[in-house]
Amino acid sequence: MTAKGPERITEARGILAALRSAFDAGARALAQACLVNGRLDARKLDAHQVASFDLAWTGADLLAAETSLDALDAGATALDIDLALLFAADAAAASLPRLEALYLELGLDLSSLHAFAQDPRWDALRRAAAGSQALERAGRGVATSDGDVGPRRLDEPHALAQDAFRRFSADVVAPLAEAIHRQDLTVPESLLKPLREMGVFGLSIPEAYGGSGPNEGEDTLLMVLVTEALSEGSLAAAGSLITRPEILSRALLAGGTAEQKAHWLPRLAAGDPLCAIAITEPDYGSDVASLIFKGTRVPGGWKLDGAKTWCTFAGKAGLLMVVTRTNPDRSAGYKGLSLLLVEKPPSDEHEFVVRQEEGGILTGRAIPTIGYRGMHSFELSFQDFFVPDANVVGGEEGLGRGFYLTMAGMVGGRMQTAARACGVMRAALRAAIRYTADRKVFGAPLADFQLTQSKLARMGARLAACRQLAYSIAGLIDCGEGRMEASLVKLLACRSAEMVTREALQLHGGMGYAEESAVSRYFLDARVLSIFEGAEETLALKVVARALIERALDAQAPAA
Ligand SMILES: Cc1cc2nc3c(=O)[nH]c(=O)nc-3n(C[C@H](O)[C@H](O)[C@H](O)COP(=O)(O)OP(=O)(O)OC[C@H]3O[C@@H](n4cnc5c(N)ncnc54)[C@H](O)[C@@H]3O)c2cc1C
């Protein structure tokens, strides 16, 4: 650590603490504004969506900045410190106008925020951490980092796993990724087979059920590290493969019958069958409680009728987890939903038809997309499609628990999506580092220019902060906490991936826009991250802001 390091870190902590207390006051006021008869009111919450959105983003930025600073220990390098301070300065700069808007809307006294803006400590931090000299220094550091910024104090088993999967990603995934993307191919067996052998499909499944996860407790960090490493090679063809078994296996562990766990978990862990998750419908995506896809009880099981959409990997999958309305009374909302498991033959094609002897039909068509190619996302149409009672997750007792069981998998799914975003960011940053070192403009390497260094510095700071936050929340989840934080880091990392891949592409100039440059794929792939696993707006409003508001209310409640 440099001599100035500890001082600057203390200053930055002071700045963040001042903003944190302004944030808490804003959250309390917003909570009060959304109460009717002492309870949070949906209409009032909707009337304050913009303020809630600002609250969620400010909460995300502040937590990431605080976590990055807290992680700086005696072993921190000068670059670690530069990047953590830069992220803190940028997070504070982004938070201030958001808090001002929130205070204005709620009629709060702005003087504390004005005082903050005029605080000389704030100017000092900005100059020291985000001034041009600091950016140059940090940018030069990032240029020699190989994109390995942020946390690196992993214990031996985790470090070994990270190394092994990074190597696999570079040696096996990356060489296939371009062809899969540009020719819109299906993920090949040459990739799936070694991944099966490495146990990636069973990461969240306890060893007792044939998985590679611990029998007691969780190892969320391992799942994050593996996902991140695979996503560096390809988001669509490798990094996202684990998300589906993660969601289904957690649903089965949370609510499957003993027979279902014994039957399906070892198979899912082995990646045979592969699986897919069908929640979204043509008319309902974010609003899961309103899903209408219909299951009708028949002797021995259920008949499925209706459409699902965006069901990723439905072709290659042999098992679909289909969220189904089994209670015809729509006013039951999410309590009328159940999880039904549909078995089907796997297909590599972009279209498929499954016909049952009883007359049921399932058709699938891959929706052409601008990126995220390899697994393909399918529109599905079911007509009279029979599913036996044995395939209702949880059996008779599982009826009506579909929403709850889906959510059991979503915490892991969101952590994975944050990890996927970090992997794509690292790939983009490494590409930018390589290109800016090689490319000469106006007689000098692009990397020698101050503006380039500032871009590399900010890309590095963002990646380091997101990785640090994801790793730290993984630890919380293993202790049974961190549900809201998983959504928060998903929000931040996915938007950050859009920003980092945008800059990486921009630094490539015209070549960035060429299909043959990997950065154009990173840019297109990153764009989907803020849409699925909870669209950004829905996640920010309904999960993150809502939880922050509830926490503000709890903090105000008199002790029992
Ligand atoms: C490539 C890809 C793969 C996917 N894979 C899967 C999969 O495997 N399985 C699956 O089930 N689904 C999958 N999805 C679907 C994805 O989860 C949905 O697209 C997502 O949940 C959003 O739903 P929607 O598309 O219906 O958008 P809508 O819910 O119609 O939302 C449209 C916009 O409105 C915003 N919005 C929604 N509600 C509000 C509100 N109350 N206030 C303000 N703004 C709001 C949203 O954030 C979004 O910006 C995938 C999608 C894509 C693009």
Q: Exposed, middle or buried by CB within 10 Å (0-12, 13-18, 19+), for 318?
A: middle
Amino acid 163: pLDDT: 96
Ligand 1 mutation target, pool 44, 275, 376, 531, most atoms within 8 A of CB: 531
How far is 410 from 513, CA to CA, in rounded Å? Answer: 34
| Ligand 1 midpoint to CA 422 (Å) | 21
Using a cut of 0.95, tell me whether the model's pTM lies above it: yes
Amino acid 559: pLDDT: 59
Amino acid 251: pLDDT: 96
Known catalytic residue at 533: yes
Amino acid 74: pLDDT: 87
| Ligand 1 midpoint to CA 333 (Å) | 18
Query: CA–CA distance from 358 to each of 296, 361, 383, 385, 436 (Å)?
Result: 15, 9, 11, 8, 61
Ligand 1: nearest atom to the Cα of 377: 3
Tens-digit pLDDT profile for residues 35-53: 999 999 999 999 999 999 9
Amino acid 558: pLDDT: 66
Task: Identify whether 273 is preceded by a cis peptide bond (ω within 30 of 0).
Answer: yes
Q: Rg of the Cα trace of the chain?
A: 24
| Ligand 1 midpoint to CA 531 (Å) | 6
Supply the DSSP string of 405-450, one letter for each residue: HHHHHHHHHHHHHHHHHHHHHHHHHHHHHHHHHH-EETTEEGGGSH
Q: Which of 136, 533, 536, 537 is catalytic?
A: 533
Amino acid 560: pLDDT: 55
Residue nearest to atom 41 of ligand 1 (CA): 538
Asked if residues 302 and 368 have their Cβ atoms less than 8 Å apart, the reply is no
Residue nearest to atom 13 of ligand 1 (CA): 310
Amino acid 3: pLDDT: 47
Asked if residues 551 and 435 have their Cβ atoms less than 8 Å apart, the reply is no
For residue 301, the number of C-alpha atoms closer than 13 Å in the C-beta half-sphere is: 19
The separation between the first and the last C-alpha atoms of the chain, rounded to the nearest angstrom, is: 46
Ligand 1: nearest atom to the Cα of 313: 8
Residue ranges, the chain, pLDDT below 70: 1-4, 558-560
